[in-house]
Each structure stands twice: as structure tokens, then as C-alpha cells.
Amino acid sequence: MLRTTRRRYLATFGTAGLAVTAGCISSDDPSYEGTWSRRGFDDARTGVSPARGPTGGLHIAWRASVHGGYPVSTPVIADETVYHLHTRGGIDRRHDTAVSAFDAATGEERWRTTVSVSGTDSLAYHHDSVVVADDRLYVRTFEGLHALSTVGEHLWTHPVPTTAQPYPIVAPPVVTDDVVVTATYGVRTPPVAVVAVDADTGETRWRVGFDARRIPWTLSAADGTVFVPFLRGDAGVVALDLTTGTNQWSRSLPVDGPVTISADTMLVPLRENATEFVAAVARRTRRLVWRVPAGRRTESGVAVTDDLAYYCADGVVVARRLDSGDRVWSFGPDPRVSLGWTPVVADELVYAVSARAREGSAPATLYALDRETGTPRGRGRLPRSVTRSGLAVVGGAAYVALGHGELLCVESCSGAVAGRCLLE
């Protein structure tokens, strides 16, 4: 495993382009404290953390080599440790899917545990799915749900297969109290089900079956309820009791992505007659509060604070009022924001990544935007484009995985003068 500190990185790549905000002085060193437990930050998939993220001139503090098989997973962080799920890709070789633990400050790999092995070449081998909770890690491969201790001990595996096309790519299980909930993903024949297991033992707590024509998407949860979105037609959203699996209600909607929960509001991406929308639905009455055309977007999600919702579409980050759907600000399309990106909010900042315009053009750039105005508060180049991975933020540092097997730690520059990051 190659681990590159900031000094080694700059010796190889130089400082030019790593930080571009002149006059930035960072008064605090990163603490690396805090938790980013899963993609979307929490079971409600709000994408919002109280942690302070890096700002000003952003630079790469360290990078580590990991397996480069698809998909690229979002790192998670707890107790100053970064956990990452990755698979050895390539053709005609053994495909090991592993979880690795890295020191959050230095990038040193502490341990690596293989959770699944496949001898079959495939488009993908795991879901973007790591969750850290109560000193355990939970991940979804295409064979099932796995639990590990935070020191790398394999605890149990519960078979929940993914079949055919690996939909959705992003599929962290819901982990609340002592229950872990996932689904049978992929375009498949029966049975289609949502499954809850005991967090300690992996034994089945409940299982709810659905019509085989339905395709379950990324789960979310809040206040003792699991929200199950289904793609295809008007299958919509089903709410299940977290403890028993009892069907509480369903709402017919042309769902086109994961559901985000904010108090009494559900943010739901929709697709109707080839037109894409973002909608707000009252959680208790299921009334449509507002719906706005979103332009071209992917199955990326929506981040939400108490008063604003953020999403990416048509190369732009958009912020809208949660109560009315009115646009507050947008960032892009120059630079053009990656379509596959879900905004991440940390303290007063929103993070977004620009897409690489074309082969041979400048690499992607990570932007830190003021969450109320969209004004850039920091930026720094990344060596490769970000595809589907999300960002994780704790105590002054941000972590992201790139294609081709790279895991990065991004921090604020200690000083930037005339567009250059000056490091000791």
C-alpha cells in the first residue's frame, strides 16, 4: 500500500494548482475528531454535519493506494480512523473485496480484512455501503451483509444477494439501535424484500416481501421508520416500522433516487415523462408541498439543513428553500459540477466537485461554498476526477476516494500566497 504524505506528494506533483485562494491563513490545525458514519452522514441521508471542514486554499495532506475496482466507495470516519471498502478489479483474476482502516492524520494503513472473494469478472462487486456504528462496521457486497469489529475482526455475514445489474450503487444499510436493515438489490426475479437483522448476531428480525416488478433503491430512516423508495413506474415510497417491519403507509410517486428526511419533510427526486424533478412531500400527510424541474441529473441525492435543500443537476449546485422550493443560489455551470455528486454540508460550508471537462483537460477541483450564499470560500485541485464517491468531513479534514485506487485526505493550507499553497 502506497502512502504519500503532503511533503512527498508535493515533491512529486509540485504546489502549483493545489491551492488557489490567495492570502488564506488557517489558524487551526485539523483535530480529526468527530464521526462521519455513512454516505449521507446519517440514516436520514441529510448530508449535514456540525463538524468544521477545510476551507481557503485546499491541499492534499496524504493519499493512500487502495484497490481500484468499481464502484468507488465513500470513506467513513470514527475515532480518528478512516474506513474504506474496496475491491481488486481487472480481468481474469481473483477479486478480493476488503475493508481497510487508515490513521486519519497520517494515512497509515492499520489493518485490512477481506470480506468477500469472487472469481467472476463483473461490472461491480460491492455497493457504496460502509456504515460505522457502536464499534462495528457494516458493508454490503453482492453476496450479502457483513459485520466487522472496528479492529478488523469478521463477526458475521447474512446472505442478502444482489442480482443482475447492481442497482443501486449507493446502498448503506440503515443502522439504528440494535437493528440493521437492507434490501435485495438489483434487477431481479422474485423474491424482492427488505430485511432487518440483529446487529449483534446477524440473525433475521423481520423480512417484508414485495412485488417482483419493484426495484428497491437506497434506504433511509428517521424516528423509528424505514423509508423504501422503489424505481419503475409509480411504485413510490413505502414506510415500514423499524422494529417490526409493519407497513405504515405508501405513496405512489415516480421515484428517481434516494429519499432524504428532514423533520416532517421528505425530499424525493422524481422522473415523469423523461422530465426530472426534485420534490418536497409532507411526511405525515404525504401531501406534495412543492415540485421543481431539476434538469439533467443522476440518482445522486439531496442534502438538507433546517431551511435549505441542496442538489446537483445540469452541472450546477442548487440551493432551494425547504418550505417553498424557491431558488436561493446556484453555483456553476462554469465550473461544471459533477453530475454524480451529492452535496455535503459541514458547519457553514457546502462541498462540491467540478467535473473534468474532457480528456487531457485540467483535473477536478474541490470547492468549499458558503452554505447561505454559494460564494466560494475555498478550493483545491484533485489529481483525478471524482466519479460516484461521496465526501466525508471531520474536524478540519475531508476525505474522498477517486477512481484508479486512491484515497485522499484534504486539509486547509497553513498559508497561501499569490495562489500558491506554502507548506513547511
Instruction: Read off the pLDDT of each residue in 335-355 and give the average, rounded to a whole number.
Output: 90
Whether residue 344 has pLDDT greater than 90: yes
* Per-domain boundaries in the chain: 3-421
Lowest model confidence (mean pLDDT) among 62-66, 158-162, 388-392: 388-392
Using pLDDT thresholds of 50, 70 and 90, give the confidence band for residue 274.
Answer: confident
Whether residue 398 has pLDDT greater than 80: yes
Per-residue pLDDT tens digits for 281-316: 999 999 999 999 988 776 778 999 999 999 998 889
Going by their DSSP bridges, the two strands 365-370 and 376-381 should be labelled as antiparallel
**CA gap 389, 396 in Å, rounded:** 20
> Domain 3-421 sits in which CATH superfamily?
YVTN repeat-like/Quinoprotein amine dehydrogenase (2.130.10.10)
With H, G, I as helix, E, B as strand and everything else as coil, classify residue 30: coil
Task: Assess contact for 329 and 321: CB atoms under 8 A.
Answer: no
Per-residue pLDDT tens digits for 138-196: 999 988 999 999 999 999 999 998 876 667 889 999 999 899 999 998 776 567 899 99
- Pick the more confident residue, 191 or 328: 328
- Pick the more confident residue, 69 or 397: 397
**What b/e sequence results for 152-176 when a residue is b if at least 16 CB atoms lie within 10 Å of its CB, and e otherwise?**
beeebebebebeeebbbbbbbbbbb
Task: Assess contact for 368 and 378: CB atoms under 8 A.
Answer: yes
Percent of the chain having pLDDT more than 90?
Answer: 63
Whether residue 49 has pLDDT greater than 80: yes
**CA gap 120, 145 in Å, rounded:** 19
Whether this prediction's pTM lies above 0.95 is answered by: no
**CA gap 339, 314 in Å, rounded:** 7
Q: What's the CA angle centered on 302, arms 269 and 199, to 5 degrees?
A: 100
Task: Assess contact for 58 and 411: CB atoms under 8 A.
Answer: yes
Q: Take residue 340 and report the three cell numbers written for it.
A: 454524480
The dihedrals phi and psi of 12, each to the nearest 5 degrees, come to -85, -45
CB contact set of 328 (below 8 Å; sequence gap of 6+): 308, 319, 320, 321, 372, 374
Instruction: Read off the pLDDT of each residue in 389-415 and give the average, rounded to a whole number.
Output: 90
Task: Assess contact for 423 and 7: CB atoms under 8 A.
Answer: yes
Q: Take residue 213 and report the three cell numbers written for it.
A: 416488478
